[in-house]
Structure formats: structure tokens, C-alpha cells
Amino acid sequence: MAQSFDYQSATASDDAETSPLDRLAEIAARTAEETGKFANVDAIMRIPVTMQVVLGSATIPVANLMKLGRGAVVPLDHRVGEPVDVVVNGRVVARGEVVVVEEDNSRFGVSLTEIVGPLGQGDS
């Protein structure tokens, strides 16, 4: 049977430097103490996830979609300067700003400004 966690109390840390992964390790350690079962955090850390950065979205009728061609511009619901959503396996886990990667200025990156979801609960 799956173990139930109280994410609110598990993430009540006032330490702004604590990352979500550190919190996951804390939760696993606390669970091991409470249940007497060892949680293999290393195995969890090797699980691959799909991460996407969403600049915005648009809803348009199929007729307009069919008219799109090379050079068409589709306005999105986010404005320039607004945070983008960082999505992992279909769930928004963070928000951030689009930046140019210093080591390779031909690539974009995301500077995280807010962690959201069960492990972050809105930490900045």
C-alpha cells in the first residue's frame, strides 16, 4: 500500500536555500525513521523525467490553424517579460525567466524564480 505524506509539514522549512531535491531527501529520511523502511533515494534520483519550458499557449479555431503557413505569427497568452512555466512530466514545478546561456550564447536557458508544487509550495 502506498505511503501518504503530509507535504505541508514536510516542506515547512524556512531555509530559502533548500532545494526541492534536498527536501525529497529529507522526506525520504523522515519516512525511513517513521516506518522503519529504507527509501532508496539514489534509485529515485535516476528516474528520467521530461522537462519542458512553456512560453505560452493559444487557442484558435481549426479553420485558422489550417490557414497557418511559413512566417505566420501566433500570439501567445504570455507577454514579454512574464515568467515562463517549467513543466516536468505534465506538471508545472517552477517558473522562471528566459536567459541566454553564458557558456554558449546561441542557446537559451531558464533562470528559476519560483518553485511550485508539492515540494516547493510557492518558494521563491
| pLDDT for residue 13 | 40
Q: Provide the pLDDT for residue 20.
A: 67
Amino acid 28: pLDDT: 73
Q: In the chain, what are the domain boundaries?
A: 1-47, 49-124
Residue 86 DSSP SS3: strand
Identity of the amino acid at 76: L
Q: What is the CATH number of domain 49-124?
A: 2.30.330.10
What pTM was computed for the model? 0.58
8 A C-beta contact, residue 117 and residue 91: yes
Q: Residue 118: its pLDDT value, please? A: 59
Residue type, 100: V
Could you list the pLDDT tens digit for every one of the 124 residues in the chain? 333 334 333 334 444 566 666 777 777 777 777 776 665 667 777 888 889 999 999 999 999 999 999 999 999 998 888 999 999 888 899 999 999 998 888 999 999 999 986 554 444 4
Locate cell 509539514: which residue?
9
Whole-Å CA distances, 31 to 41, 74, 102: 11, 48, 40
pLDDT of residue 44: 75
The confidence score (pLDDT) of residue 75 equals 93
Q: What is the pLDDT of residue 26?
A: 77
